[in-house]
Amino acid sequence: MASDKKFEPTNPTAKWVEDRLPILGLLYNSLGAGYSAPRNLNYWWNFGVLAGFMLVVQIVTGIVLAMHYVPHIDLAFDSVQHIRRDVNYGWLLQAIHANGASMFFIVVYIHILRGFYFGSYKAPREILWFLGIIIYLLMMATGFMGYVLPWGQMSFWGAKVITNLFSAFDFIPFIGDGIVEWLWGGFAVGQPTLNRFFSLHYLLPFVLVGVVILHIWALHIPGSTNPLGIEAKGPHDKIPFHPYYTAKDAFGLGVFIVFFSAFVFYMPDFLGHPDNYIKANPLVTPEHIVPEWYYLPFYAILRAIPEKLLGVVAMFSSILILFAMPWLDGSRIRSLRFRPLSKFFFWLFVVNGVFLGYLGQKAPDDIIALGITALGFAQFATTFYFAYFIVIMPLVSRMETTKPVPTSIAASVLEANKKGQ
Which residues are tagged catalytic? 220, 224, 248-249, 292
CB atoms within 10 A of CB 243: 12
| Contacts (Cβ under 8 Å, ≥6 apart) of 19 | none
CA-CA-CA-CA torsion for 245, 251, 256, 257, nearest 10 degrees?
120
- Residue 7 and residue 29: Cα distance in Å, rounded? 8
Three-state SS sequence of 254-294: HHHHHHHHHHHHHCCCCCCCHHHHCECCCCCCCCCCCCCHH
Give residue 296's identity as a one-letter amino acid code. L
Task: Provide the 3-class DSSP secondary structure of residue 368.
Answer: strand
Task: Provide the 3-class DSSP secondary structure of residue 127.
Answer: helix
Give residue 388's identity as a one-letter amino acid code. Y
Give residue 110's identity as a one-letter amino acid code. I
- Residue 107 and residue 47: Cα distance in Å, rounded? 6
Q: Give which of 62, 54, 33 is closest to 111, Cα–Cα.
A: 54
Which backbone phi and psi does 368 adopt, to 5 degrees?
Answer: -95, -55
Pairing mode, strands 367-369 and 238-240: unpaired
Give residue 37's identity as a one-letter amino acid code. A
Kindly state the helix (H) or strand (E) to which residue 104 belongs, with its residue range.
helix 90-118
94 in Cβ contact with 84 (< 8 Å): yes
User: Helix 90-118 and helix 76-85: axis angle, to 10°?
Assistant: 100
55 in Cβ contact with 65 (< 8 Å): no
195 in Cβ contact with 165 (< 8 Å): no
